[in-house]
Structure 1
Amino acid sequence: MTETQRPVEPVEIEAPAQRRTVSKKIVALMAGNMVGRVGALASLGLATIMVARIGGPELVGAFTLVRILPGLLCQLSNAGLPAAAPYFLADGSASGRVYDQSRVRPTLAWLTVVGALIGGLSWLALTPLLYLVFFKSFGIWVTVAAAVPSFTQGYVSVGKGLLQGTEDMRGASMAIAVEEFVFLPIYGVILIGWYGPGALIAGLVLADVAAAAWIARRLARRGFFAGWGRPDLRLARTISSYGFRGYLGQLIDLLQLRFDMALLGGLAGPKVLGVYTVASKFAELVQLPGLALNYVLFPDFAKDDKAEATRRTRKLILPAFGVSVVAALPLAAIAGTALPWIFGDVFDDAVVPTYIRLAGVVTFGVTGLIMAYLYGVGRPGAASTCQGIGLAVVVIAGVMLIPSFGAEGAATATALSFVATTAALLVWFFHVERAERNGRADQAVKVEKVEKKG
């Protein structure tokens, strides 16, 4: 038996067992992630119902603003740590570099604190502008108080990345649900003696503290805080650089999803934003299959040969679209009666924006599939470029439509951005597929010429 033959026999014997093991792991990870996401959405839905019943659309608008705007600021101030933490806690083995974990962990913790401080201070610096654009109806002190969630939310978002980096995927999936769930009992207790936006902010801050404490306890059990050295400034720069580059696409995605809300809140006020928030959250349920598809297939494609990954992706495009359509149809069927019944008759105006958003988000299954492919074959920049096209569409369409059409204009802008992103991804995928097919054909011709000469 030759050397080239030696690895073949065990691979043929072990491959089926390995594939079954990988498949079981993928299914388990998908199930855990889906449970976490569904739990988070259920908790957020209950929280939105609670807020809507207490304060109507205006308070729902305040709830949306103090969740989204501090979150956007955190994404910038923490230097992409949620994306960078898993990579550096895994020793950076993918790049062939090994990092001293006794320095990585304290450096990540130090960056988390610094990012949270920058987020809170940045909010305070922007308070006059935020007050004039978003919070004028609530008062200046509510605007100032919203700086606290800008400080606390960073700990939760980075904490989930730390759980992933310590290979606690079950904990990371649970944290997605815990983050939203803990708000419910805390806010319920606060409502015993305090109402209004101030109580809302207090509930969100205490929920962040509780979720961060839960994450810290789980990390401690896995030895994250043991054996620390000193934080490393050079390593901090390396981590920040990686984080910014790696988180660009996700930040664009977040802006694409939330720009319409921020613009609507600024132009139409919190009451219209509250109505639109209900429509948005209901329609976004269609994204769950696409998110799960992306979560499962990305690592799978990364292990595949590029030609095999391309073949599988092309084969799955129509089924991925079909899954999203199947998910959207029942939501469209019940939206007209469910939304007013659940949230109150004052939310009748949420029905039409829901239908419009559903028409756009139905393409998200294809989006999740092709983004998994692009990341899997080492083209994350292509995915970010396509997401950037979607962001440009929502910004341009939002500025044009929201002043005249309010919530329906925001829904139209977002639906168009979903379709534009999916279309850009499809164009890129077929371009890559065609280039790969031409490359294989050219290679075959060269081989044929060599054989004829031989």
Structure 2
Amino acid sequence: MHNGSTGQAAAAAPARRSFARDGVATILVTAATMGLGLLTGVLVARTLGPDGRGALTAVLTTAQLLGWLFGMGCGKAVTYALSRDPRAGGRLLSTWTLMLLPVAAAAVLTGHLLLPTLLAAQPPETLELARLYLPMIALALLSELMLGLVLGDQDFRNFNALNFLQPAGVAVSYAVLWAVGLFTVETAVIAQAAMSTLVLVAALLILLRRHGVGRPDLALGRTTAWYALRTHGDVVGGVITQRLDLLIIPAFLPAAQVGLYALATSLSWLIVNLSSALATVVMPAAARRGRSGRDLVLNSLQATFAVGGVLGGGLFLFADIAIGLVYGPSFADSALPLRLLLPGAVLYAAASILLNGLYAENRPFTATLANLLGMAVTLGGLLLFLRSGGILAAAVVSTVAYALVFVAAAALYRRATGLPWRAFLPDPALLASLPRQLLNKPPPAAATAAGHTRE
């Protein structure tokens, strides 16, 4: 029995090292991407001001949201299918490309119908620019497919590189446009479109070289579409909970208010984006480990709370100073909405870990319930309070919705796993051993044994 346990531990060691390596790489790429986002945000704020930032946000957000809503969960579906059958790449590529073309056409048509309402408070030139940008929805859908296939190949290096290429290219393009005096809302939109196209072409070349183009497979399309639809409810609920405020606000408030709120949300979402990178790696790792993967989910949850608490607390305390120094005095009114959003952002970051834990437990419908609750609260609250309360009401509604998603996710994960509530709390033995570890002192035997219960 001892030899068998030793063999299992030895076999698990490479998997643990691989998980750590992939997780660290993904988090570092996400952090670098966030840094580029901050730089481009500063450039937009300093150059275009609140009105320009609001117009750019309105144009980009509409197409981005419609791409997510019409994406059908194809990214997760092809990732799962290709992970199970590495020979299916060519058939998945051709099958899903054909499936997404009519979906993309429907999304673009829907955008044309909704834009006059969604951008009702914006000037005519912003509405026209948003119409010209709508075909990018098709590229967003195809990019989700391509990146899902790259991830299904377990090609984490190219997956991270492609995810970094978009913001890096946009940052360089913005800097060049600014340097030559051509940085406007219109040229910023062109830069975004060009980099999205480049990422799609790069991903397609990688997949064609690896898999080629297979014959479309109706049976494969049907089975993967069913998997996609099972996950799409959670995707749609999450997107609406996260971004509905930015989609609705341009219909009620002027561009300057949109710009102030967009800055507050982008800063608060630094916390969520960093944890989402960890959640992306946690889900497949936890699924692969079975019941022992629950320890990984809970440890990741606690790590997310620790990191989110530090980042959120720092932003909360120094919001006025940071915004004034980095973005300028014209964005001073973003500080209070940011403070209102931060508690919810920390909780939503933690919820993303638990929701991916539910995916690892093969409970996609259960994960959907938590985000549907957040979606309902976000939609109802914004419709009731946005017109009278402005961006402060939007911030309060959003943070309440995020908090409810976390509470629901925790309750649903506990019910799915049968774990006691005390399992969600940090391990006291591990906390007690931390000072010794920092001082390079060996922990006592009891703490060492307790530390092995969670990876």
The letter of the residue matching 1:124 is H
- Which of 337, 340, 343 in structure 2 is aligned with 1:353? 337
Alignment correspondent of 1:255: 240
Shift of 1:197: 3.1
Alignment correspondent of 1:205: 193
Structure-2 separation of matches of 1:36 and 1:154:
22
Q: Structure 1, residues 177-223: CA drift from partner, whole Å, max 9, x if none?
A: 212221123344455464543223222211211222222233344x1
Alignment correspondent of 2:54: 61
Alignment correspondent of 1:219: 207
Q: Structure 1, residues 58-84: CA drift from partner, whole Å, max 9, x if none?
A: 111122122221111112334322222
Alignment correspondent of 2:265: 280
Alignment partner of 1:150 is 2:142 = no
Alignment partner of 1:173 is 2:160 = yes
Shift of 1:279: 0.9
Contact preservation (8 Å) 2:71, 2:144: no
Once the two structures are superposed, the pairs formed by residues 122-201 of structure 1 within 5 Å of their partners are 122-131=110-119, 133=120, 135-190=122-177, 192=180, 194-201=182-189
Structure-1 separation of matches of 2:326 and 2:60:
22
Alignment partner of 1:290 is 2:289 = no
Identify which range, 21-30 or 153-162, moves more after superposition.
153-162
Once the two structures are superposed, the pairs formed by residues 236-255 of structure 1 within 5 Å of their partners are 236-255=221-240
The letter of the residue matching 2:129 is V
Alignment correspondent of 2:44: 51
Distance 1:402 1:194, change over 3 A: same
Structure-2 separation of matches of 1:24 and 1:352:
42
Alignment correspondent of 1:403: 387
Contact preservation (8 Å) 2:241, 2:401: yes
Shift of 1:100: 5.0
Alignment correspondent of 2:23: 30
Once the two structures are superposed, the pairs formed by residues 79-94 of structure 1 within 5 Å of their partners are 79-91=72-84
The letter of the residue matching 2:49 is G
Structure-1 separation of matches of 2:299 and 2:115:
51
Secondary structure of residue in 1 paired with 2:135: helix
Contact preservation (8 Å) 1:49, 1:342: yes
Contact preservation (8 Å) 2:117, 2:251: no
Query: Could you tell me the TM-score, scaled by structure 2's length?
Result: 0.83
The letter of the residue matching 1:373 is G
Alignment partner of 1:103 is 2:91 = yes
The letter of the residue matching 1:143 is A
Alignment partner of 1:416 is 2:400 = yes
Q: Structure 1, residues 138-184: CA drift from partner, whole Å, max 9, x if none?
A: 35432321223223323333222121122211111222221222112
Q: Structure 1, residues 6-55: CA drift from partner, whole Å, max 9, x if none?
A: xx576323222223212211111111211221222222222222222222
Distance 1:157 1:61, change over 3 A: farther
Distance 1:73 1:384, change over 3 A: same
The letter of the residue matching 2:205 is R
The letter of the residue matching 2:264 is A
Distance 1:420 1:204, change over 3 A: same
Structure number with bigger Rg? 1
Contact preservation (8 Å) 2:89, 2:149: no
Percent identity over the alignment is 20
Distance 1:300 1:323, change over 3 A: same
Alignment correspondent of 1:445: none
Alignment correspondent of 1:378: 362
- The alignment yields a C-alpha RMSD, in angstroms, of 2.8
Structure-2 separation of matches of 1:218 and 1:172:
10
What is the aligned residue count? 420
Alignment partner of 1:119 is 2:107 = yes
The letter of the residue matching 2:386 is I
Shift of 1:313: 5.6
Shift of 1:320: 4.5
Structure-2 separation of matches of 1:208 and 1:314:
35
Structure-2 separation of matches of 1:258 and 1:58:
19
- Which of 288, 309, 314 in structure 2 is aligned with 1:330? 314
Shift of 1:280: 0.9
The letter of the residue matching 2:362 is G
Structure-2 separation of matches of 1:299 and 1:241:
19
Distance 1:359 1:103, change over 3 A: closer
Structure 1: gaps of 5 or more residues: 1-7, 94-98, 438-454
Structure-1 separation of matches of 2:364 and 2:28:
27
Contact preservation (8 Å) 2:73, 2:228: yes
Distance 1:127 1:421, change over 3 A: closer
Shift of 1:234: 4.7
Identify which range, 400-409 or 229-238, moves more after superposition.
229-238
Structure-2 separation of matches of 1:246 and 1:137:
37
Shift of 1:114: 4.3
Structure-2 separation of matches of 1:150 and 1:81:
14
Contact preservation (8 Å) 1:30, 1:296: yes
Distance 1:22 1:414, change over 3 A: same
